[in-house]
Amino acid sequence: MNRHLHIVCLDVPSPADYGGAIDMLYRIESLYNAGIKIHLHYFSYNHRGNPNELNQYCESIHVYERKTGHKGFSFSKPYIVSSRINQELITKLNKDNHPILLEGVHCTGILPQLNTGNRKVIVRLHNDEADYYKQLSSVEKNIFKKIYFRYESHLLGKYEHSLPPQYLYACITTKDEAHFREQHGLKNSFFLPAYTPYEKINSSEGIGNFCLYHGNLSVPENEKAATWLLTKVFSKIKVPFVIAGKNPSKRVDKLSHLYQHTCLVANPTDTEINDLVKKAHINILPSFSNTGIKIKLLHALFEGRHCVTNEAMVNGTGLEAACHIGTNANAIAAIIMQLHHQPFTTEEIRLRENLLGNTYNNALNTKQLIQYLW
């Protein structure tokens, strides 16, 4: 029996160069591998192009312009939602009765105009967006962006509370599932772990060469983490430290060259990042926001050796046992010094296999998703 599915993505899922795109792309690939005929719809902006990689997985692909600036603005709806309400998309979805997977609360503005009847609709919640935007506001230096993030957070809180309870909501963490059930009355919420390219634990035993922090350095939260590590941790301990990521600021560039034992790798390829994660002795990933799950944490646990982080990064993920957790800069520095000459062992690899193996398994999670859709 041919099973057809509409997937509406908030952004083009390829290249998979940030957490949300990784989650979307590998879900598309996994659904295709399970024999689902995919009709992909996505919003084009930020000059991310028309990637051909998606053709191999999809029966059809439809691209829509996101309404940017004042065209997408609304006083009643969050900008991330109102800028993606598209009449052409609604018309195409209403032509048949195939199930729909909406990627992100971003794509839910069309729900009131869909002919849902008895068709299944699942919303993939990538985050508690209201909390995420609140935390973006707290780390943003630009006053206008700060005000925008705060106002968007306020609108998102109201909007998330008004989401229709009859649809299914696939949450990225058990913490988010509890939040949407209890705070927003979405009783049809369930836990659907993040999809990743990592199929098994590939960590190497023994001792690596350096400490590593990696992330998209143009994101304010990641820049804050990198500068915090340089100024509060590696200014005190003389252990080789590498920062790697996209579009670092002049400040990160300057700080990373203040000490002889620290350096910066700007705009590495995916292969180079993976090589660094595997060769590092310690992957250090503090976070200053405790929303969703960070794909880079999963990357470090699947491919790297020791992983040092803070409570905000692992809170609600169930991955605490696989990480060394420090509560402040001094604690993280002490853990690094303790692990610096400590080999990574087979026992730690087994622990990760038990902890991550069944949860972050794309094929198993797709079976669950298919049961919800049909």
- Could you tell me if residue 202 is inside a domain? no
- Could you tell me if residue 232 is inside a domain? yes
Q: What is the pLDDT of residue 305?
A: 98
| Residues 37 and 136 both lie in one domain | yes
| Residues 185 and 50 both lie in one domain | yes
Angle between helices 346-356 and 295-303 (to 10 degrees): 140
| Residue 97: strand, helix, or coil | coil
Q: What is the pLDDT of residue 49?
A: 64
For the record, the structure tokens of 148 come out as 């925008």
| Residues 172 and 253 both lie in one domain | no
- Could you tell me if residue 205 is inside a domain? no
| Residues 35 and 9 both lie in one domain | yes
* Strand 100-103 with 58-65, pairing: unpaired
- Residue 161 — very low, low, confident or very high, per pLDDT cuts 50/70/90? very high
Residue percentage of the chain with pLDDT more than 90: 78
Q: What is the pLDDT of residue 179?
A: 93
| Residues 75 and 90 both lie in one domain | yes
- Residue 43 — very low, low, confident or very high, per pLDDT cuts 50/70/90? very high
Residue 333 has pLDDT above 90, yes or no: yes
| Residues 174 and 46 both lie in one domain | yes
Q: What is the pLDDT of residue 70?
A: 78
Residue 184 has pLDDT above 70, yes or no: yes
Q: What is the pLDDT of residue 284?
A: 97
Average pLDDT, integer, range 189-215? 94
Average pLDDT, integer, range 287-312? 90
Residue percentage of the chain with pLDDT more than 70: 98
Q: What is the pLDDT of residue 294?
A: 84
| Residue 195: strand, helix, or coil | coil
Dihedral angle over CA of 266, 267, 271, 276, nearest 10: 20
Contact status, residue 220 vs residue 301, Cβ threshold 8 Å: no
Average pLDDT, integer, range 240-256? 94
Q: What is the pLDDT of residue 118?
A: 83
Residue 235 has pLDDT above 70, yes or no: yes
Assess whether the previous peptide bond of 193 is cis (omega < 30° from 0): no
- Residue 318 — very low, low, confident or very high, per pLDDT cuts 50/70/90? confident
- Could you tell me if residue 121 is inside a domain? yes
| Residues 12 and 158 both lie in one domain | yes
Contact status, residue 56 vs residue 13, Cβ threshold 8 Å: no
Residue 293 has pLDDT above 80, yes or no: no
| Residues 351 and 365 both lie in one domain | no
Domain CATH number, residue 76:
3.40.50.2000
For the chain, the domain total comes to: 2
Of residues 86 and 220, more confidence is placed in 86
Q: Which of 21, 54, 22, 23 is CA-nearest to residue 40?
A: 54
Average pLDDT, integer, range 278-302? 90
Q: CA–CA separation, 355 vs 321, rounded Å?
A: 8
Q: CA–CA separation, 25 vs 57, rounded Å?
A: 10
Q: What is the pLDDT of residue 158?
A: 95
What range does the domain containing 274 cover? Answer: 211-356
Q: CA–CA separation, 308 vs 332, rounded Å?
A: 7
Q: What is the pLDDT of residue 237?
A: 94
Cα-based distances in Å from 298 to 64, 102, 168, 206, 295: 31, 24, 26, 20, 5
- Could you tell me if residue 159 is inside a domain? yes
Cα-based distances in Å from 260 to 234, 242, 283: 11, 11, 19
- Least confidently predicted of 41-55, 84-98, 152-166: 41-55
Assess whether the previous peptide bond of 15 is cis (omega < 30° from 0): yes
- Least confidently predicted of 47-61, 89-103, 150-164: 47-61
In tens, the pLDDT along 342-358 reads 999 999 999 999 989 88
| Residues 352 and 365 both lie in one domain | no
Residue 167 has pLDDT above 80, yes or no: yes
- Least confidently predicted of 86-100, 128-142, 200-214: 128-142
Residue 32 corresponds to which amino acid? Y
Mean pLDDT of the chain: 92
Q: What is the pLDDT of residue 33?
A: 97
Phi, psi for residue 315 in degrees, rounded to 5: -55, 120
| Residues 157 and 261 both lie in one domain | no
Residue 135 has pLDDT above 90, yes or no: no
Contacts of 362 (CB under 8 A, 6+ apart): 26, 27, 29, 30, 195, 196, 199
Residue 214 has pLDDT above 70, yes or no: yes
| Residues 217 and 189 both lie in one domain | no
- Could you tell me if residue 343 is inside a domain? yes
In tens, the pLDDT along 44-62 reads 877 666 678 899 999 999 9
Give the position of tokens 């098994």. 200
What does pTM read for this prediction?
A: 0.90
| Residues 223 and 367 both lie in one domain | no
Residue 210 has pLDDT above 90, yes or no: yes
